Chains A and B, each alone.
Chain A
Amino acid sequence: MAARTAQRWGKWLVSGPPLLYLVVFFAVPSLIMVLASFRTPGEFGGLAPLRDADGNLDLNLESYARFVTEPLYWEIFLKSFWYALLTTLICLVMAYPLAVLIARSDRKYRDLLLLLVILPFWSNFLIRVYAWMIILGPNAAFARAVNATLALFGIEPVSLLFSAFAVLVCLVYVHLPFMVLPLYANLEKHDQTLLDAAQDLGANAWQRFWRITFPLSLPGVYAGSALVFIPAFGIFAIPDILGGPNDSLIGNVIKQQFLETRDWPFGSVLSIVLTVCALAIAGIAAWVGQRGVRRLATGDA
């Protein structure tokens, strides 16, 4: 009995601190935000007192009503969704061959290659974003080469910086490692004999990839896509620094509501909608993926 009690205490001792951390720094703030979304904005920003002059509880749906009735915010949400989706797809297409290459390379080079993938994390995120300002700047070799090429076809020079292009390039750059790592972790575990067996049973290189490697890598594809899509959906720093005036994403709007307009209830509403959207999209993707796996499994694909 004593041993079992000790075991139970031990379990709490180990899982307690991280649990406490999540409650204090994730669950409680989320609840505060949900509560804030129902309150009235303060006269000079922030929140109005919870109880009005008559002592009644001041909770309402006005901020939600504003969100539903103003199409501008829907459009920004949709735009953010497309940016995040495009970022995820480009990351996937770029990361997959890289992950395969690392997973199939000689064991002694693998650690080095992985190190190269995570090397950018060693410098500050903002510095890396600012670096793109230089790379894409009008006087950099890259921009000059692009404009020289365009000139050959008689097209006016374009500004690469402060554009949707710059935002997208940097979104892909920043998130690429988050796609490579889960894909690598999955591909590295694949059993080479399965590919031998598929080849033995008549599958050519493309069929071996499409029927064996790819379906078995789907858990890695989902994990990587979620790790790229969700942060890309809510990002604000990259459009702030590299985007033009029309490249504001939902993350910028939320930041604006809290720090500049100081309409906390409306900022909370946008933030909640963003969270719910991200969760819903991740859920739908997982569900669709599961169905896809099952279809492949029964051999109907």
Chain B
Amino acid sequence: MALLEIANVTRRFGDFVAVDGVSLAIEAGEFFTLLGPSGCGKTTLLRMIAGFDLPDAGRILLDGEDLADRPPEARPVRTVFQSYALFPHMTVQGNVAFPLKMAKTPAAEAAVKIAEALADVRLTGFNNRFPNELSGGQRQRVAIARALVTHPTVLLLDEPLAALDAKLREEMQIELINMQKEVGITFVYVTHDQTEALALSHRIAVMNRGKVEQVDPPDQLYGYPKTRFVAEFIGTCNLLTGPVTDAAPGVVSVNVSDLGAVKVVAVPSHPRGSDAAIALRPEKVRLSAPGNAPHSDNRFAGVVTGFLYQGDVTVYMVRAAQGHAMEALLANSGSGLAKFFEVGDAVEMSWPADAGHFIPA
């Protein structure tokens, strides 16, 4: 049985359904992420797990026990808030000692636990500093130490890295992964940042308009998005839509307006005439000079309309002959200055039938 079970949870605010019949099973020791745009219900769901909000319907079970009657202070769940919520009138020591004091931990035992927790987040020796004397990254670590010091069953993290700058965020991501591995506590992490979610999580639940669209490990989610929303939300994606015109066993053809018939692997095969979409990642599209396309399954002529040089890669915007706008990503892995095409160049786009991912309507 899963450690944390969310069963058909619904939460309404007036006419607005913030969380709509969500069911999730989170395993012990898992780094689980709730990912979605703002307003998708991920934070409301987190607040219900913490106990700050109660479901209108459905149940939240921890270790098989329904949490409904337990106020936040009586749940073995701790939260790391986006703003860190450190107590400004207490030192680092005072902040980390707070949950131990609430649990009436004997002083000697508490001292050991505080020292351990501060060591875990590499803040040994910072005991007598006040929050306003710490950097953003250090405050973040105090918040984590304070939440972990009583060894909760589940740690909830609400966009904890959102306030940090890009460089620090990357460092903290690595630290979070290591920390979670070390302490072995289940992390439930909320973010709207898909790269962060992909980098950190064992599994991700993508949420949209109060519903869970897909729950999968990061590579599954990226490679095999189950819905158009997931395909577009995770990474960038050429979304090719149209009716299925040819349903040969294993491979179907989708008639994409402004582009043409696109072949794609589809298991199981889909009936002709049904609506479908193909999620095609820009890095799967090969660009070549006309006539040199390496793949024969799908081949379309186009013109480069613009590009974004990003150092390691270049993103090309290509307009197909019939008008469909496409993106292709080329790694600048060759030696020297890498520049393949200029704006206005005629190119040929190609990709094999198994490069795209078939999404039935």
Contact = CB atoms under 8 A, between A and B. Distances in A.
Interface of A: 191, 193-194, 196-204, 207, 211-212, 215-216, 293, 296-299
Contacts, number: 77
B102 A203 contact: yes
Interface string B63-100: 00000000111100111010101011111011001110
Given A200-B50, A297-B130, A216 B88 contact: yes
Indicate the member of B52, B73, B78, B99 with the most A CB atoms within 10 Å.
B73
A212 B81 contact: no
Contacts of B71: 199
22 contacts: A191-B83, A193-B81, A193-B83, A194-B87, A194-B88, A197-B79, A197-B87, A198-B87, A200-B73, A201-B78, A201-B146, A201-B147, A202-B73, A202-B74, A202-B103, A204-B73, A216-B88, A297-B91, A298-B90, A298-B93, A299-B94, A299-B101
Q: A-B pairs with the 10 shortest C-beta distances?
A: A202-B102, A299-B94, A197-B85, A201-B99, A193-B85, A299-B97, A200-B79, A199-B72, A202-B73, A215-B89
Contact of B89 (A191, A200, A201, A297): A297
B181 to A, nearest CB: 24
Contact of B98 (A193, A198, A216, A293): A198
B98 to A, nearest CB: 5
B195 interface: no
B128 interface: yes
Interface string B145-156: 011001000000
Contacts of A215: 89
Contact of A194 (B85, B94, B101, B147): B85
A126 to B, nearest CB: 42
A194 B131 CA distance: 13
A159 B224 CA distance: 88
B140 to A, nearest CB: 14
Nearest to B71: A199
Contacts of B94: 296-299
Given A297-B130, A298-B93, A202 B85 contact: no
A200 to B, nearest CB: 5
Interface of B: 50-52, 71-74, 77-79, 81, 83, 85, 87-91, 93-94, 97-99, 101-103, 128, 130, 146-147, 150
A196 B87 CA distance: 11
Contacts of B78: 200-201
A196 B47 CA distance: 10
Indicate the member of A197, A296, A297 with the most B CB atoms within 10 Å.
A197
Interface of A is mostly: helix
A80 B146 CA distance: 48
Contacts of B73: 199-204
A196 B85 contact: yes
Nearest to B52: A196
Contacts of A197: 79, 81, 85, 87
Nearest to A202: B102
Indicate the member of B71, B99, B146, B150 with the most A CB atoms within 10 Å.
B99
A296 B102 CA distance: 14
A296 B90 contact: yes
Contacts of B102: 201-203, 207
Nearest to B93: A299
Contact of A298 (B52, B83, B91): B91
Contact of A293 (B50, B77, B89, B97): B89
Contact of A299 (B50, B74, B90): B90
A298 B98 contact: no
A52 to B, nearest CB: 60
A125 B300 CA distance: 89
A196 B94 CA distance: 17
Contact of B91 (A200, A216, A299): A299
A201 B93 contact: no
Contacts of A212: 87
A121 to B, nearest CB: 33
B326 to A, nearest CB: 45
B146 A296 contact: no
A22 B103 CA distance: 54
Given A298-B91, A299-B93, 15 more contacts: A193-B83, A196-B79, A199-B72, A200-B52, A200-B73, A201-B78, A201-B99, A203-B102, A211-B87, A216-B89, A297-B90, A297-B94, A298-B90, A298-B94, A299-B90
Contacts of A198: 87, 98
Contacts of A293: 89
Contacts of B103: 202
A214 B129 CA distance: 21
Nearest to A192: B85
Contacts of B85: 191, 193-194, 196-197
B329 to A, nearest CB: 40
Contacts of A299: 90-91, 93-94, 97-98, 101
A200 B147 CA distance: 9
A201 B98 contact: yes
Contacts of A194: 85, 87-88
